[in-house]
Amino acid sequence: MNPNAKKSYSTLDTPCLILQEDLLIKNLSLFQGLANANNKKLRPHIKAHKSIELAKIQIEKGAVGICCSKLAEAEIMVEGGIKDILITSPIVGNTKLDRLGNLSQQATISVVTDSKPQIMILSELAKQYQTVINIFVEIDIGQARCGVQPGLGAFEIAQEIIKYPNLSFSGIQAYHGKLQGIKSFKERANAIDTAMAKLSASLHYFKNGQLPVKTITGGGTGSFLIDLKLPFLSELQPGSYVTMDCNYSQNEWDDEGSLELISQPLSVLSTVISKPQPNKVILDAGWKSISNDAGTPKLKYGLDSFDFAGDEHGVITSSKEYIDLEIGDQVELIPSHCDTTINLYDHFYLVNTYQHRKLAIDARGKIT
């Protein structure tokens, strides 16, 4: 039998998301344990898993709170009982500000900014909602997205924040997403050094101006093992480590080139619906069930290769004359990008040796 064929999930309707419980818990424990051992606070990003239940497990294990990318994700998490959230993208516009004011009355909410004029707006909001808003100043350490340029800018914004009694200067956010996926450990570590030099150029002004920076938050799954040893970062925000994906699982995790350290609990289960040729089968999963922004998924047991064949179809073609998969067989695919794939589903199936159950992806599609 082709090792790609999977019979044991035959009661699950496909395509669906599988999360293998033992591997999931292993990843959660590994990252929390490493953070503890290195005196770093862990504030995992939930933008990939979007699940209240998983966020709660992360907090039970010792996370100080969570990160969300979007206000709508944070609203769902607060509704689910999460009490401490950093929203890692700037909140702009009256509608969103009203929602932020409301949310700040229900939980400890921190936001990021890179704009001096935005500070007065946030202070007005805090006044209107009789709350205190915690603000991190974002510095662009190479991501070339949001963030003030390294240098004096962050200090100037922080000075503005401390003028207002209803705002709290909580620290700095310094995140560099582009280097997370550099496969070679050494090259990734060098790229992080360069990014940290940019952060250091900004911290210099805080030191001279005697303005304490309580927390410096940043980092992701790819940089985690390197970030643990960095003196500057006090709080780490990895997200993908929970479920992983086939792009991240190609990263080397140490100098020895180890690929196995972080487990791969996530897969998409799909069914063979047609066998048009002896060496080719068609699956019931296409672009609507597995994202393609970071490339094609990989077959879990890796013998053959998958390709997209439309919105609802995928194809496996063997280089041999015959493929040992039949109509009705199930196949597991590892997505290339966990965030964009998980966002296509309402729930995972959490599976262990004995049973499976639904685990809600509560903030799925919450993009505002």
List residues near ligand PLP by CB under 6 A. 45, 47-48, 67, 88, 175, 177, 180, 220-222, 237-241
**Token duo for residue 267:** 């897969």
Closest to ligand PLP by CB, 218 vs 314, is 218
DSSP per-residue string spanning 128-185? HTT--EEEEEEB-SS--SSSBPSSSHHHHHHHHHTT-TTEEEEEEE----TTTT-SSH
| CB of 289 vs ligand PLP, minimal distance in Å | 21
Closest to ligand PLP by CB, 281 vs 342, is 342
| CB of 182 vs ligand PLP, minimal distance in Å | 12
Distance in angstroms (rounded) separating the CA atoms of residues 169 and 340: 32
Distance in angstroms (rounded) separating the CA atoms of residues 126 and 166: 6
| CB of 321 vs ligand PLP, minimal distance in Å | 41
Task: Please give the distance of CA 280 from its chain centroid, rounded to a whole number.
Answer: 35
Closest to ligand PLP by CB, 239 vs 297, is 239
Nearest residue to the partner ligand PLP, using Cβ: 220
SS3 content of the chain, % helix, strand, coil (to 5): 30, 25, 50
Residues 6+ apart with CB under 8 A from 156: 116
Closest to ligand PLP by CB, 234 vs 305, is 234
Distance in angstroms (rounded) separating the CA atoms of residues 22 and 103: 34
Q: Which residues of 149-183 are buried (b: 16+ CB within 10 A; e: fewer)?
A: ebeebbbebbbbbeebebbbbbbbbbbbeebbbbe
| CB of 357 vs ligand PLP, minimal distance in Å | 25
Q: Crossing angle of helices 52-60/21-37, nearest 10°?
A: 40
Closest to ligand PLP by CB, 262 vs 283, is 262
Closest to ligand PLP by CB, 278 vs 295, is 295
| CB of 242 vs ligand PLP, minimal distance in Å | 9
Start-to-end C-alpha separation, the chain = 46
Q: 249 and 232 in contact (C-beta within 8 Å)?
A: no
| CB of 185 vs ligand PLP, minimal distance in Å | 15
Closest to ligand PLP by CB, 246 vs 316, is 246
| CB of 135 vs ligand PLP, minimal distance in Å | 15
Closest to ligand PLP by CB, 46 vs 331, is 46
| CB of 223 vs ligand PLP, minimal distance in Å | 8
